[in-house]
Amino acid sequence: MLLREVMSRYFPTIICCLAIISALLLTRETNSLQVIDGSVTVVQGGTAILPCQIIHTDDDLTQITWQRTTREKPHNDNFITVQPREGPRFVNGQDDRFKYIGNFNNKNGTLQLSSVALKDEGRYTCIFTLFPSGNQKTEILLKVIVPPFTHIKDNLPTLGTEEVLLATCTAAGSKPPAEVRWLTGALGDKVRTTTNSIKYDNGTTTTVSSLFGVPMREINGHQVQCVISGDSLTKEETLPFSIQVYFSPTEVNITVISEDSFECLTEANPSANFIWSRSGESLLQSAVRVEGAKLQLLSLNSDLNGLYQCEASNAYGSKHGWLHVHVASASSDSCGLM
């Protein structure tokens, strides 16, 4: 009876104390063995260090094994083993981008991966085989950042009265996605923008921002900027752009530079090319000099009399201007613009 009473009174306390002692021992054992690891982020083309080391254990290390599950290799498999005598050895195919930079005696299994590609992104598992405790493993997540390829495309708008696409700004193939926006300054509501993104199976995204407006001469030559930002870039990128509205030459005007020199003027985008010709006759190469839009009469005599044409042209059209030259004598000449 006395024993039953003692057991009834103190047995729950004894069980509780034993549980606490067991928990403390378990905690001490767990804390005494620690695997050092860490997630890694690297820019595509760079070098990644995959850290893995086990500390606070006197167990014998017999082997280090690396496994991976990546975009290229979605099924988990061994790819490197390290043993005390043989050293590192590739399994299931060699990849010389991997280099063992750890120290087996220090229970350090760290790997270096150079020329990192998007296909390498994934989970890497480092396994230590210990005696007598068995295997201890940890996982390292490798994240690959892909900077975008950026560019602006001129949509070559021609002069008109309806809204059209003026230009597009693209951040192609980035991971994570880039943000693309336009800074249009004083243009205000004369232009508007839209932005669309396409995500690909490899995890990259292409973002395109489009600039719309009515292609008037008023906006021709206006400076805008495309700004690209996001975690895939080390710093914000700004691409300058001059809005171009394309049109054929307007009216051609021939101006008098001096009594024997004339210039053909017009407005066009792109700039016009000029061709001087003489109606019904060829230009006298020895008597005139042509330099682009300029015509110079080298000797004022009646041989130069005639109607001269200046043609201004570009890819979008052409216009003509006329110059009438009449030389009555060496001391008297007249030129008429038509």
Domain containing 311 — which CATH number? 2.60.40.10
In a shared domain, residues 300 and 271: yes
Is the confidence at residue 314, as pLDDT, over 90?
A: yes
- The whole-angstrom separation of Cα 180 and Cα 152 is 11
Looking at per-residue confidence, does 278 or 171 come out higher? 171
Q: Confirm if 50 and 103 have CB atoms less than 8 A apart.
A: no
| Residue range(s) defining the domain that contains residue 311 | 253-337
117-129 tens-digit pLDDT: 999 999 999 999 9
Q: Are residues 322 and 265 in the same domain?
A: yes
Radius of gyration (C-alpha) of the chain in whole angstroms: 40
Domain check: are 237 and 271 in the same one?
no
Of 186, 219, 242, which marks where a domain is finished? Answer: 242
Q: In the chain, how many domains are there?
A: 3
CA geometry: angle 127, 128, 134, nearest 5 deg: 110
Is residue 5, in this structure, part of any structural domain at all?
no
The structure's pTM equals 0.75
Nearest to 231 by CA among 195, 178, 273: 178
Residues 127 and 154 in one domain: no
Look over the chain and give the mean of its residue pLDDT values, rounded to a whole number: 88
Are 120 and 41 found together in one domain?
Answer: yes
- pLDDT 10s digits, 183-210: 999 999 999 999 999 999 999 999 999 9
Domain end among 208, 242, 276: 242
pLDDT, residue 3, reads: 39
Q: Judge if 52 and 97 occupy the same domain.
A: yes
Whether residues 258 and 211 fall in one domain: no
Which of 217, 242, 267 is a domain's end point?
A: 242
